[in-house]
Each structure stands twice: as structure tokens, then as C-alpha cells.
Amino acid sequence: MAYDLLIKNGRIVDGSGMPSFHGDIAVKDGTIVELGKLSGPAGTTVDAEGRAVSPGFIDNHCHYDAQVTWDPLCSFSCDHGATSVIIGNCSLALAPVRRGKEKRMAEFLSYVEAIPMEVLNTVEVDWESIPEYMDKLDRHLGVNVGTLIGHTSVRYYVMDDECQKRTASDDEITAMQDVVRGGMEAGALGLSVSRNRGHYDPQGVHIPALWADEKEIFALGDVLRDLGTGIIQSGGGRDAELKNGLMARLAEATGRPVVYNNLGQTVRRPDEWKRHMARVDETVRAGIRAYPLCSPNRVTQSFTMKNAQLFRGSPTWHPILIAGDDEKLRAYADPTIRAKLHEEMIEWKVEIPGGTISRNWYDYVWVETPVLEKNQWMKEKSIREIAAAQGKGIIDAFLDLVVEEKLETGFMQAENNVDDEAMRQILTYPNALIGLSDGGAHVQFHGGYGFSTRLLSEWVRDKGALTLEQAVRRLTFDSASTFGLYDRGLLRPGMVADITIFDPDTVRPLPEHIVHDFPAGGWRFKEPAAGIYATFVNGRMLMKEGDHTGNLPGRVLRNSRYQAAHR
């Protein structure tokens, strides 16, 4: 047989978790046809030179919904070995959308996921329905893209501005079911909902999905049950699961896998991850498919008070965060405002929905880059340490610095996934899915693109928490099988040829830096990778040694029901 592609001399890590072996892989018409010691003629031959050859990594939680319209590579997931990404998470999507409502729809995505509106305003929205959006993407992709149907988008489409005021009527629920059914029949991978009480629009009102009661959520899930396909994803699912078992009940009622955010360690509730694991163990024993996502990323963010997410939800702070810089400075210098912030953020006289910040947040926010020479002593000191050194209260010490340096002080916050022993147990826990890069979101605060290369470097090579074979399975087959991508995630004859070649000895994420490559002059953090030699999407090389080949072989990933109907 004459092959289109022959990858020779690889260490084949096939995604199953079984021991790796030395061999070759042959590809024809975008499909793997043979593995072993192969010598047939090929249009393209690539010498892996002993590097690992694995299924393409699946970035299972992203927010490239807008970015993919101008960036078919979904950078920077592609730099870290991803050949497929999943968008439309946490109830947020850009379809369906009615004419004239595009900006408001984008605001939900912008504010929750910290993507600047001046960037989103450049997107030319030439679709209305979910199928139209998917078809648009399918014409111009580098990586494969799977789409979830966002509950916030569907609710706004059906209920207009009433979507943030009340529960839905029976007729409105039926109309939402029709929209979801249309999207699923077009091949969407599933439905995304949200229970994250820390998700607001720019006006400080909870996003539409959070106004839905359980009746509405279960009714939309019933569409997937009736069609016998798709997954349900939930933002903020952990708290709902620990409170009343909502994620497990939704999975049991619909018969569909539920994937939710997230199993992680946090200084806010140090032992909650253990209680969460025990809960998941119970549901697994009961035969229920409700799985949390987890990530090897240390969740940190760099910010200035010109653009901060940290204090959202505070009644006094929230409107200041979205004000102009001059108004911010006036507010932060106002003793009355400071007194209110002290009551809300130090004495905690009000509830901040969603648990988005710890009560002792000032122990986990450090000065990263002071502006003035006289303030350089503050570098790498926490707000509490600075306040103690100055003999000031927390709010006064923090805001005196912010005002003096005119909002330019660089801060760093780190509260999550900072305990190594907890992370070892979380990442080796078999009933959670590894991923959660949030690629495309929070672009001016941090990049999580390198979850895959971080797993392979820190937790395989450096700490030995997983074998290479185990880690590759976690990055490929586990997500492929859960999200219904049954023709991917393994290196087997008959499987689609999504392939990543990497060097286990050098693979790692590299330090972040700022790039100005977004529309409208927008900037973002880039997290490069080392040790990723090449990726192949549907049998064609997409990336080689960090550079795009120019090929655009990606496709929109469609659910199993759609594929069965279109063979």
C-alpha cells in the first residue's frame, strides 16, 4: 500500500495506557492504516527519531468561541500538542444569536471569561443559528473544534432581556428545547450549563443560565436523553454537587455523561478536595457518569487595578472595576469608599456569591512589579506584609499603593493548586478528567494552555506521579471517550490520524510573555512550549517545531448521532 504519511522510528504511546513500544505509523486518507515496522512508499515520511508518538491531545475546556473566527489554530493550545479543542463551555457561546443582539451576547462571554470587548467587537457575526455557526467554522480550521450549546446563549435567544429577570415559562422551556435539539441534530457535542454564582455580566447581574431553575436544566438535558447522544458540561458544578448532588442527579436522569468544574485544591477550603473525591467515589460506585475536571496548572493571575477580576461580586467594588481609570482613582482615594470596602472585604459583612475570593485574600496577593523606585522593597511581599510594615489597615495599604502608582502596580494572586501532595492525589485520581486549560479566556491575566506540557514535565518527568503512558491516556483517550469522540484518542488502525510527536525528556511549558497579536491592537499572554516536535490533524501536519505549516486540516467535531446519519 502507498501511504500518504509514514511516521518512522517513534516510541508509540498509543493512548490506551498500555506500555509504549518502538515502531512506525502509516496514514492513508486521514486515517491510521498500519502500525509496526513499516517500509511501504509514502507521500510524506517523518522520522520521529525516537520521540514519543501519541494521539493528538484534546483540550477539553476552552473559550475560543470568538477567537476561532480569526485564529483557526486556536493558539496557544496548538503549541502544546492539542489537535482538538472543545468550546462553548460554562453556558457561554456565540450562537444562537438574533440580529441586533450580537454585542449583548458577546458581553456575557467578555465579562465572565475576561476577553476584551474591543476585541470581540471586531467579530463579524454572519450567523444566527447553531448549525450556521458550526458550518462557518468548518470551512476554516487548523485544529479540530467541538462545540457545546451554551445555556446562557439559548436562554437569551428565547427570552430576550427577560432571561435575567425570572424563571422560564413552559412555552419558553419548550422553545429552548427546540433550539438545543436543532444544535444537537447539527452535530454539537452537548449542552453546557452553569451554577457558578461568581459569573456576572458587566452590569453586575448574574448571567442568564444562573436564573434557570432545575426544571429548566433537566428539561434541556432531556433533549440529549431522547437523542441518545452528547455530554452535559457545567461551570460551577462542584458546589452544586457537594450541596445537593445536582451533577450526579442530572447524569442519572439523562443517561448522559456530565463533566463539571472542578476538582482542585484551594486555600479557601483546604480539605474540600478530599470531601469532593469521596462524593465522586459514591456516584461512580452507583454507576453514574458525573466527572469533575482537574488541572495540573497552578492557578495564578497577574493583574493591575486597571483591569482586575479578583474583587467581582463586592457591591462596592464591582461598579468601580468597570469604571474609567480617573473614576477608579477618585474612588480608591475616597475614605468613605475605603470604609465600605473594609466592611465588605475585611469584616465580610456581606456575602460575595460564588466563593470567588478567600476571606484572607491579602495573604495570597503579592506585589509583583512596583512602579516607583521607593516602593521596590514591596516586591514579592503580600498585602498583609506591606500593611504590617506600614502600620496600616489592609485596604488603606493596598489602595494607597494603587493610587500612588496610578493603577500601574503589578500584582500576582495565587490560591489554587499550590499544595503538591494534594495535586499528586488529584492528578492521579481515576474518576476525574485532566484538562481545563480555559484556552482563549482570561487572556490578559494568565494562560492555561500548557496544562498538557506541564503534566508531562512536572508530574511525569520531574515528580514521577504518573507514567508517560498514563499521562498520555489522560490527555487523549479519557477525554475522547467521555466527549463522544469515538474515532479519536487512540493510535489504532481505523482511527482518525490526529497525532502529536514530542520529546519526553524536554517537553515543558515556557515562561509567559505578552504579545500584541489580537484584533484592534489587543494584547494577551502567550505561553510557549518546548519539546513538541509536530502535530498532525486528520493526517496532515499542522505544526512543526512551534511553527504553523500553513495547512488548515481541522474540522468541526460532530456527535455520534450526526456521524451515523451522515455516513
DSSP string for 328-355:
HHHHHH-HHHHHHHHHHHTS--S--GGG
Cell numbers standing for residue 260: 463539571
pLDDT of residue 132: 98
pLDDT of residue 302: 86
Q: How far apart are CA 415 and CA 296, in angstroms?
A: 14
Total residue length of the chain: 567
Taking each continuous run of H as one helix and of E as one strand, the counts in the chain are 19, 25
Cell numbers standing for residue 212: 434557570
Note down pLDDT in tens along the chain; length 567 residues: 899 999 999 999 999 999 999 999 999 999 999 999 999 899 999 999 999 999 999 999 999 999 999 999 999 999 999 999 999 999 999 999 999 999 999 999 999 999 999 999 999 999 999 999 999 999 999 999 999 999 999 999 999 999 999 999 999 999 999 999 999 999 999 999 999 998 999 998 999 999 999 999 999 999 999 999 999 999 999 999 999 999 999 999 999 999 999 999 988 888 999 999 999 999 999 999 999 999 999 877 889 999 888 888 889 998 999 899 999 999 999 999 999 999 999 999 988 776 667 889 999 999 999 999 999 999 999 999 999 999 999 999 999 999 999 999 999 988 888 899 999 999 999 999 999 999 999 999 888 999 999 999 999 999 999 999 999 999 999 999 999 999 999 999 999 999 999 999 999 999 999 999 999 999 999 999 999 999 999 999 999 999 999 999 999 999 999 999 998
pLDDT of residue 27: 98
List residues bridging with 548 in a β-sheet: 543
Q: How far apart are CA 341 and CA 6, in angstroms?
A: 63
Within 186-316, where are the H helices? Answer: 214-227, 237-244, 246-254, 272-285
Integer CA distances (angstroms), 362 to 245, 385, 453, in order: 33, 9, 31
Integer CA distances (angstroms), 396 to 233, 320, 333, 386, 389, in order: 41, 16, 9, 10, 13
In the sheet that 410-416 helps form, which strands lie side by side, from edge to edge? 299-303, 410-416, 365-369
pLDDT of residue 72: 98
Q: How far apart are CA 181 and CA 224, in angstroms?
A: 8
Of 26, 4, 2, 22, which Cα lies nearest the Cα of 12? Answer: 22
Cell numbers standing for residue 255: 443517561
* DSSP code for 520: G
Question: Which H helix or E strand runs over 388?
Answer: helix 383-390
pLDDT of residue 270: 87
Of 352, 41, 56, which Cα lies nearest the Cα of 199? Answer: 352
pLDDT of residue 354: 64
Integer CA distances (angstroms), 72 to 11, 43, 140, 521, 553, in order: 29, 25, 6, 19, 10
Amino acid at position 271, single letter: D
- Widest pairwise Cα distance in the chain: 79
pLDDT of residue 310: 85
Q: How far apart are CA 13 and CA 499, in angstroms?
A: 10
pLDDT of residue 7: 98
pLDDT of residue 385: 97
Contact predicate 453/461, CB 8 Å: no
Amino acid at position 138, single letter: D
Does 96 sit behind a cis peptide bond, omega within 30 degrees of 0 on the bond before it? yes
Contact predicate 280/261, CB 8 Å: no
Q: Which residue matches cell numbers 460532530?
A: 558
Does 108 sit behind a cis peptide bond, omega within 30 degrees of 0 on the bond before it? no
74: which residues sit within 8 A by CB, 6+ positions away?
59, 62, 64, 67, 68, 82, 85, 142, 143, 145, 439, 440
Identify the burial level of 119 via C-beta atoms within 10 angstroms of its C-beta, where 0-12 means exposed, 13-18 middle and 19 or more buried. buried
Contact predicate 411/368, CB 8 Å: yes
Identify the burial level of 161 via C-beta atoms within 10 angstroms of its C-beta, where 0-12 means exposed, 13-18 middle and 19 or more buried. exposed
Cell numbers standing for residue 233: 458540561
